[in-house]
Every structure is written in C-alpha cells, then in structure tokens.
Amino acid sequence: MQKPKVHIDKDKVVIHIRNLVKSFGDLHVLRGIDLDLYNRENLVVLGRSGTGKSVLIKIISGLLKPDSGLVNVLGEEVPLLNTRDLDKLRLKIGFSFQNSALYDSMTIRKNLEFPLVRNLRNLTRKEINRSVEQVLDAVGLLHTINQMPAELSGGQRKRVGIARTLILRPEIMLYDEPTAGLDPITCIDINNLINEVQQRYNTSSIIITHDLACAKQTGDRIVMLLDGQFKRQGSFEEVFDTDDERVKTFYDYNFLNQ
Amino acid sequence: MNAGKSPVDNEEADKPVLTRRLDNMFFTLYDVSNFVVRFFKEAFSPPIEFKETVRQCYQVGYRSLGLITLTGFITGMVFTKQSRPSLEDFGATSWLPSLISIAIVRALAPLVTALIAAGKVGSNIGAELGSMRVTEQIDAMEVSATNPFKFLVVTRVLATTFTIPILAMYTGFVGLMGSYLNVHQNEETSLATFFEGAFESISFLDLFSSLIKAILFGFTIGMVGCYQGYNSSKGTEGVGRAANAAVVIAMFLIFIEETIVVQIVAALR
Ligand SMILES: Nc1ncnc2c1ncn2[C@@H]1O[C@H](COP(=O)(O)OP(=O)(O)O)[C@@H](O)[C@H]1O
Ligand SMILES: [Mg+2]
C-alpha cells in the first residue's frame, strides 16, 4: 500500500539535534548526530542492530543523558530540564517500545488508564472510560479491554502500546522497531496504523527500524545510521542509490530475508 | 567531531585502582548506598503513593501468610517436643511455656518470618522488577511522567518494612499455639496457664528488640529485592539472577543483622 501524502510543515522544526555524542565507557555509540524533525513528518532512522538507534530516541525522551550536543524538543533543551519540566515535556511525547512494554500486572484497561490517571488527576471516571475506549477502538482492539497483556498476540500488544501513548494526545511519536518480531502481514497493519496516527493525530514521528518494508511504507524521509552518524538521507530511493558497500549490503540482506 | 577511541583513555579505564575485585566491591557499595539514600529522599517527599503502598502490603501478607502459619506452628510444636526430654530429666517440664516463649519471641518468630518472606516476597520483588526492567516497563513508566522509583521501589520497601513486623507477631502467636498443643497433650495445661507461663518471662526489652529486628529484616528484604530487580541486567537470565540474588543476599544480611542486634541487646540487658 502506498503511503498517503501528508502536508509537512518545513518551517516548523519540532526536534532539533546538533552534534550529539554518546558513549558507554569505551563504546562510542553516537558520534555527532545532526537531525531536524519537521512538523507532521514521519522520519525513519535505519540501521543495523546495536548501532545506537534506541539510544538516540532514549536521549530524545530524556531516559538517557547525552555526553554532549544540542537536543532541543518542542523548544526545550532536554538534557537541561529538571524533573518537573521534563515530565511536562514527556506528556507531549509518545514512546512506543520495542517489546510494547505493557504492564504485565494490569489489564489492558488499567494499562491505558495509567498515563491518564497519573497525570490528569481531576478527570471523572466517565471521562477516563471514554478516553480509554475511544483510543482502544482507534487501534481496533476494543474487545480486549478486560484481558491481560499476556493473552494478546505480539501485533495486538504493539497496538495497545501505541494506544497507550496516544491517550495523552502527544505531538511527537517515537517508535522503537515497531515491526520487529511480527509476521509480514501484521507488519503491514502496524505500518498502516503508524500512517493513520500521523494523519489523525497530527503527530510528527521518528520511526526506528531495520525493516526496509516498514521504512518504505511509513517514511516521508529516511536517514541511515552508520558508525554513529547519519550517513545518508532522503527518500527511500535516494538513500539506496549509492555505491557504499555497507548500504548496499543492508539493502540486499533485507530483501533476502523477506 | 571525531569522538574515536583514544588509547590513553583505554589504558586508564582498564587499570584497576586496587584489584579488580575490590574495585567492583567498592563500586557496588557506592551504588547500593546511593540507592538507599534515594529511597529515603523519595519516601519523604510528596506525593506519597498511598494506595499502591497499601496494595503492596496486602501482597506481602497474602503471599507469605500460608507458609508462615504452617512453619510457625510446626516450629513451636517441634521445638517444644524436642526440648521436653532435657527438662524432664530435672522434672522441670512446667518451665516449658516460659522457655519456649523466650525462644520464640526473642529469636524464632522474627527469624522464621524473615527467612520465609525473603524466599517468597524478596524473590518475587526481584523477579517482578527485574522483568519490568528487562521488558522496558520501568522506562515506559518514566516516559509517561511517573517516577518509577517512587511507584515501584518506595512502595515495596515501605510495604515489607511495615508488614513483616506484623507477620512476625503473628508467627510468634502461631508458634505459641503450636507449642501449646504439645504441652496440652502431655501435661493437660489449660490455655490460660500456658500463656501466663509464657508471658511471665518475657520482658519489654525482648518485645522491643524483636520488633526492631523485624523492622530491620523487612527493610532489608524489600531493599535487596528492589535493588536487584531495579538494576537487573538485560536479558531473561538477568531476571533469574535478580530473583536469586534477592533471596541469597537478603538471607545473608538477615543473619548478620540478627548477630549484631543480639550483641547490642545482650549489652543492654
Ligand atoms: N544503558 C546502557 N549501558 C551500556 N551500554 C548500552 C546501554 N544502552 C545501550 N548500550 C549499548 O549501546 C549500543 C547501541 O544500543 P541500541 O541503541 O540499543 O542499539 P539499536 O540500534 O539496536 O537500538 C549497544 O552496543 C548497546 O549494548
Ligand atoms: Mg533498539
């Protein structure tokens, strides 16, 4: 399925990163990342596993601190924020984790309620229920509302995870390997959901993946992370129109695997 | 721009200050003390997670109650049965209630409770937080603007610290009932006489030091379980290791604390 056209507002930058560096001891993971995410854009970050893709979005959401560099999200300097302001900013960022990170001990309903009741304390029970049902319906899983996460399939868990982040109406979505570990048909469903979210909720997104089908289907723009830096960027065709052996290997390997 | 490896950095980082083992030990000690300090800081700063703490208290009690009842009762009964012959030699079986109650109140009740709770509750906390760490549930909490340390760690440590003393009192009671069963079978003592004998020999200091011990044990179980789980390494084997370490380390510390408190109380007596 072709990606529907979305109007991207290039005058408004929602995430602005300059010369971001991050190491763990001797392991130099990010070595000078520059990135601008435009309003309403789906940006795909491609890279092999272990290249630091997750580290990048964890820095954006303040879960990890960078060693140096500028990380500006919605006008806020993330590494410099105190806990309170960081929490305020986090309400505007939805984070979809690689393995969904649903709370095992809670029902789907409680999972979805969690960010709501913890952050908007003056909501009535009725308002909470309505929000939960609405957002769960948006991902097509209203019937699972009273089930436990363990009873759901991988694709369903992914959808619930995305629903849980949508409940606070974020302006930015960060997807960590949204299609990893899913069968090809479920992958297509998730990719469609990502595009739907972009349109319905007017989100700007960073989608991290090593799955080229996902990149092609969801990305308005693609960057490729190699050796801790963004080496190639542009449309899907532009990124892979190169003689760089590693980029070509990445491409070949992906389609051999399908 | 180039943040490549510098050879000087590598050498410095590789060279241990003392031996590698000692370095690691001091690093862990430092890490643990930070964790404990953070607990006290966050426990006493608002907002307080009252509802979740109560839920955790219930969990601690619910998980260990059955096993504690059984173990406490059998401990009291067997201990009485085994102590009888040596008292019978002196014709002093009427001392049994006071002997047993001293043993139960001073030592057995807090210790048995703590060891069982370390096995049932401590391992559970280690495994639960460990798997939450590994599957990024703790990160998910943090990005939805909830302080996971407060919500997960503070509530659990408070729960064990508060609930285990109550369970220890209960264990003491059940243990005495077990003991009474044995005494009653042999000497046909009435319940009232039994408890009169039992309480006669117990001082305020006994009760107080036992309570302090139980609080200490409870705090230790919660803290060790949370530390292990919260800092669990990635991968499923990390969860198993966290659960296992939670039990082993907690039991080890419980015996050390027992020894120290006994010394202090002996000095006070
Ligand atoms: N908290 C951490 N502590 C130490 N090393 C880490 C940490 N997080 C990630 N790493 C390391 O950084 C590298 C990049 O990790 P990650 O961003 O998860 O890769 P991926 O691109 O597959 O998402 C890996 O080698 C990983 O081991
Ligand atoms: Mg990753």
Domain of A217, in residue numbers: 40-50+91-256
Lowest mean pLDDT of B62-71, B100-109, B168-177, B231-240, name the range. B231-240
Residue A218 located in a structural domain: yes
B108 within 8 A of A81, measured Cβ to Cβ: no
Reference A54, options A227, A248, A243, A206; nearest CA is: A206
Domain ranges of chain B: 49-268
For residues A23-40, one letter each, b for 16 or more C-beta atoms within 10 angstroms of the residue's C-beta and e for the rest, the string is: beeeebbbbbbebebbbb
The CB-side HSE value for A18 (13 A sphere, CA atoms) comes to 4
Residue A138 located in a structural domain: yes
Residue A163's CATH number:
3.40.50.300
Residue A15 located in a structural domain: no
pLDDT tens, position by position, A9-62: 788 899 999 999 999 988 999 999 999 999 999 999 998 888 999 999 999 999
Distance from CA of B14 to the nearest CA of A (A): 10
Listing DSSP states for B162-224 in one string gives HHHHHHHHHHHHHHHHHHHHHHHHHH---HHHHHHHHHHT--HHHHHHHHHHHHHHHHHHHHH
Q: Are the beta carbons of B131 and A93 separated by less than 8 Å?
A: no
Compute the mean pLDDT over every residue in chain B, rounded to the nearest whole number: 88
Pocket of ligand 1 contains residue A24 by CB under 6 Å: yes
pLDDT, residue B5, reads 40
pLDDT tens, position by position, B44-91: 988 888 999 999 999 999 989 999 999 999 999 999 898 888 888 888
Which of A54, A177, A225 is the best mutation target for the ligand 1 pocket, counting ligand atoms within 8 Å of the beta carbon and taking the most? A54
Least CB-CB distance to A63: which of B4, B132, B139?
Answer: B139
Residue B215 has pLDDT above 60, yes or no: yes
Reference B229, options B221, B30, A229; nearest CA is: B221
Pairing between β-strand A27-39 and β-strand A204-209 as defined by DSSP bridges: unpaired
- Note the maximum CA span of chain B: 89
Q: Which are the contacts of B93, defined by CB distance < 8 A and separation ≥ 6?
A: B84, B87, B186, B187
Give the ipTM.
0.90
Residue A58 located in a structural domain: no
A181 touches chain B (CB under 8 A): no
Q: Are the beta carbons of B135 and A99 separated by less than 8 Å?
A: yes
Residue A25 located in a structural domain: no
What are the chain A neighbours of B144 within 8 Å (beta carbons)? Answer: 90-91, 114-115, 118-119, 164-165, 168
Pocket of ligand 1 contains residue A155 by CB under 6 Å: no
Chain A's closest residue to B2, CA to CA, is A31
> Which residues of chain A from 186 to 225 reach within 8 Å of chain B, CB to CB?
none
CA distance linking residue B194 with residue B41, whole number of Å: 47
Q: Are the beta carbons of B136 and A98 separated by less than 8 Å?
A: yes
Pocket of ligand 1 contains residue A62 by CB under 6 Å: no
* Protein residue closest via CA to atom 27 of ligand 1: A50
The pTM of the whole model exceeds 0.90: no
Residue A159 located in a structural domain: yes
The residues that bridge with A172 in the sheet, in sequence order, are A93, A204
What are the chain B neighbours of A101 within 8 Å (beta carbons)? Answer: 135-137, 139-140
pLDDT, residue A6, reads 77
Residue B6 has pLDDT above 70, yes or no: no
Chain A's closest residue to B141, CA to CA, is A115
pLDDT tens, position by position, A184-193: 888 999 999 9
Structural domain total, chain A: 1
B143 touches chain A (CB under 8 A): yes
For residues A122-160, one letter each, b for 16 or more C-beta atoms within 10 angstroms of the residue's C-beta and e for the rest, the string is: eeeeeebeebbeebbebbebeebbeebbeebeebbbbbb
What are the chain B neighbours of A28 within 8 Å (beta carbons)? Answer: 3-5
Reference B133, options B222, B230, B41; nearest CA is: B230
Reference B135, options A49, A208, A98, A65; nearest CA is: A98
Q: Are the beta carbons of A63 and B131 separated by less than 8 Å?
A: no
Residue stretches of chain A with pLDDT short of 70: 1-2, 253-258
